Every structure is written in structure tokens, then in C-alpha cells.
Amino acid sequence: MKNALIKKIQDKSAVIGIVGLGYVGLPLMLRFAEVGYKVLGFDIDKSKVDALNEGRSYIEHIGAASIAEARSRGFEATTDFSRAPEADTLILCVPTPLNKYREPDLSFVLDTMDSLVPYLREGHLVSLESTTYPGTTDEELLPRIESRGFKVGENAFLVYSPEREDPGNPNFTTRTIPKVCGGYSPACQEIGVALYSAVIDKVVPVSSTRAAEMTKLLENIHRAVNIGLVNEMKIVADKMGIDIHEVIRAAATKPFGFVPYYPGPDLGGHCIPIDPFYLTWKAREYGVNTRFIELAGEVNAAMPDYVVSKIAAALNTRKKAINGSKILVLGIAYKKNVDDMRESPSVMLMEKLRDLDAEIAYSDPHVPVFPKMREHRFDLSSVPLSVSTLAEYDCVLLATDHDKFDYALIRANAQLIVDSRGKYLEPMDNIIKA
């Protein structure tokens, strides 16, 4: 059965099922379709399914032309999980957020798997790509698959291959980003490597699903810890009257032993603010206290309050309070040049300022209307930037430094700018660095 599935993958007769058609699943679908596979996409959001089947995209950096091309190659999206037997592989690309207690929320993974279990058949390969703690694939997915009477490694197959996406980054694509893959058994590993090797330039096999799960966590914990370090350095440097961005630029000239990380108003995106807590939660099961990771989390989580304090101090010098002030937030995506709002620190800042009775507006060329979010609600649309609109606000907060912003226009016409991204290099009376 293993050899038969590998042969179907190699001759491109395998049907690729992708479950979850968001920032991870959609680029993966496009790549499989591009090389000649028939792809069947599953999602519980009917509006997404309808958009894709009509050749439309709902992600800014993925054009409608790419969706239309995939459709011409046989791609189809559906909300009907009973069609899972049509696919030979089922690749799960669903969210893994935290709950309100900052504990792993596997409900999307488990609910998705439970929806698929009745329709699993012999020969299926299940691949989990969602970031999670070591043991999830073996402890949660394996027993669900085997509840149908299958023997994983013999007549059903299971791998973990963590997503590595950087939305909006033109220098790295699904094809060129190396893909880590760990199988439950050697047979599972062999099939997983065959599957991803068909569409990814370099596949990196590891010894187990747990090693693959830990790899993904290490990648993002590495970033979270170093960002926590540089955020702490920013606060120290600010107290000393030193520009931390100048220091980072100078340190980055060292050709060895230093990697530049940049401070900001907090962590954002679907990985870095969340993934470290998946490991700290699981580590407690083994009696390990991950103090280093948790300390970095505390530092990063405190950054929105630091930025708000800088806004309050800056307004105070102009004999104004946050209460009643009109504040324009520039950029509400979690990083520049994308429309991705997941875990955006800008939204946290907007909520904190609103709670202090500021009058909040935002401008973001990538997010024309504030989207519906699970935990955050604003009935706002993006404000176009002009000489007159900028002058209306008591404070302009640069939260996400999109390239599309006219920074000279902003500098010349804003009464007060609080720059949390280090965009403005030259000191000016109306610019406060935060």
C-alpha cells in the first residue's frame, strides 16, 4: 500500500486534499496545482469556498489570477467533508490559537480530524501542518485514525510537517522554503517525503513527528526570545537617551556572531506570539519550568503598555490627556505590507487607547475595512491620509510601517507622531520614538 501511494504521488495521479484554505493552505494548494496535481480543498467557511470556486481570492498577496489558474487545472473547494475519500492525502492547515488562559486550543485540529474520521479510507495519508506541542500528532491524531480499525504505517499513514509561511515576503515561496517532515513510522516518513518533495525544492526529514513538532516551536521561540531581548534593550536605551535602532544598525555591521532583531509594540502574526506557550504548557507535564521563554513572553506582552505610556507622556507635554484625544493608528496588520491581522499588536493598542477614552481611527492601505475578528471589534474603515486629515489628529501612532505610507507627508503634517517602529531616523520636535 505504501508503494502504491508513492507511485500515485510520483506520477501525479494522486488527489491532494488540503483542509483549511487560509494563509497556509491556500499557497500550498496553488503549489500542488501548479505542478499538475488535482487538488480538493476543504474549509468550513462557505464564503471562502464560494470565492475560490468563482476564481476570487480573499488574501491580498494571492491574486485572483492564481486562483483562476488553479481552477483551470482542476482545483475545487468544498465544505463537504464526506468527499474526503476522493483525496489520497489530507493535509491539515487549521489554526492553533491560545485560549483565554494562554493554554493551547486544539479545538480546530481536533474538530477537523473528528469531521474527517468517518470518511477515512485505506491508503490515506494524513499530514498535520498546524503548529502545536510535541506529541499532538501521536497522542491526538493517531488514535483517531486507528479508531477506524486502520494500522498506521501499514494501511494508513501519518506525518507532521510544520508550515513555514512568511506572508507577503517575495524572497521566499512555498516552493523554496525547506520543508521539515517527521513520520510516525519509516513508511509514513517515506510517503511524507515523497509527497512534499514533489512540490518543495528541499525536504528535511527528521526522526519522528515529535522532533518535527519541536523544530517548529524552536524556530519561533528563537525569534520570540530575541525580540524580547531587543524590546528590553529598547526600554533601557530609551531611559539612557540612546536610539536603539541606531545601535542595532551599528551592531549589524559585525559580520559574525550577531543577528539583528528589531523592537516593536509587541509580537504579531499566527506563530510567534502563540507558539512559545504551546511548549511551556507541555513542558509542565514533564516537570520543567521554561523560565527563559516565559520571561521573554512577559517582556513582549508588556510592550503595548509601554507604547501607551509614551503616547500619554507625549500628549502630556502638549497639555493634553489620552482621554478625549483623537488618535490615528497607522497600520493595523501584524507586519508591514500585508493584510494579515492575526494577533496584530496594533489592535491591542487600539483597544487600550479606546479603554482610556481616546477617539480612535486608523489608516491602513492593506485593510480598507476593519475585519470581523473572534476577540476584537471595531466598526471602522481606513482613513485616507492627506494634509487635512493628518492635521485633525492630536496624535498619530505609527504601529505598522507599511511601505505604501507617505512618511514625508505624515512627518510634515501630523501634530505629533509616536513612532513604535523606528521609521523616522532624524529627530524632530513632533516625533517621539516608542
Give 17's pLDDT tier (boundaries 50, 70, 90): very high
Q: Is the pLDDT of residue 212 over 90?
A: yes
Give 266's pLDDT tier (boundaries 50, 70, 90): confident
Q: Is the pLDDT of residue 270 over 80?
A: no
Residues marked as catalytic: 271
pLDDT digits (tens, 9 = 90+) for 318-343: 999 999 999 999 999 999 999 999 88
Give 84's pLDDT tier (boundaries 50, 70, 90): very high
Mean pLDDT of the chain: 95
Give 227's pLDDT tier (boundaries 50, 70, 90): very high
Looking at residue 121, its pLDDT comes to 97
Looking at residue 128, its pLDDT comes to 98
Q: Is the dihedral of CA 196, 224, 307, 343 positive or negative?
A: positive
- Name which CATH class applies to 2-207: alpha beta
Q: What is the mean pLDDT of residues 384-411?
A: 97
Q: Is the pLDDT of residue 429 over 90?
A: no
Q: Is the pLDDT of residue 375 over 80?
A: no
Looking at residue 179, its pLDDT comes to 98
**Residue ranges matching CATH 3.40.50.720 in the chain:** 2-207, 302-433
Q: Please state, in angstroms and rounded to a whole number, the distance separating the CA atoms of residues 60 and 40.
A: 22
φ and ψ of 172, to 5 deg: -135, 135
- Name which CATH class applies to 208-300: mainly alpha
Looking at residue 283, its pLDDT comes to 96
Q: What is the mean pLDDT of residues 143-159?
A: 97
Looking at residue 192, its pLDDT comes to 98
Q: Is the pLDDT of residue 62 over 90?
A: yes
Looking at residue 136, its pLDDT comes to 98
Give 168's pLDDT tier (boundaries 50, 70, 90): confident
Please name the fold of domain 302-433.
Rossmann fold (3.40.50)
Amino acid letter at 361? Answer: A
Q: What is the mean pLDDT of residues 377-381?
A: 93
| pTM of the model as a whole | 0.93
Looking at residue 167, its pLDDT comes to 80
Looking at residue 195, its pLDDT comes to 98
Q: What is the mean pLDDT of residues 221-237?
A: 96
Looking at residue 197, its pLDDT comes to 98
Looking at residue 63, its pLDDT comes to 93
Amino acid letter at 397? Answer: L
Give 251's pLDDT tier (boundaries 50, 70, 90): very high
Give 191's pLDDT tier (boundaries 50, 70, 90): very high
**Residue ranges matching CATH 1.10.1040.10 in the chain:** 208-300
As given in the structure block, the three cell numbers for residue 425 are 531616523
Give 395's pLDDT tier (boundaries 50, 70, 90): very high
Q: What is the 3 state secondary structure string of the chain?
A: CHHHHHHHHHCCCCEEEEECCCCCHHHHHHHHHHCCCEEEEECCCHHHHHHHHCCCCCCCCCCHHHHHHHHHCCCEEECCHHHHHHCCEEEECCCCCECCCCCECCHHHHHHHHHHHHHCCCCCEEEECCCCCCCHHHHHHHHHHHCCCCCECCCEEEEECCCCCCCCCCCCCCCCCCEEEEECCHHHHHHHHHHHHCCCCCEEEECCHHHHHHHHHHHHHHHHHHHHHHHHHHHHHHHCCCCHHHHHHHHCCCCCCCCCCCCCCCCCCCCCCCHHHHHHHHHHHCCCCCHHHHHHHHHHHCHHHHHHHHHHHHHHCCCCCCCCCEEEEECCCCCCCCCCCCCCHHHHHHHHHHHCCCEEEEECCCCCECCCCCCCCCCCECCCCCHHHHHHCCEEEECCCCCCCCHHHHHHHCCCEEECCCCCCCCCCCEEEC
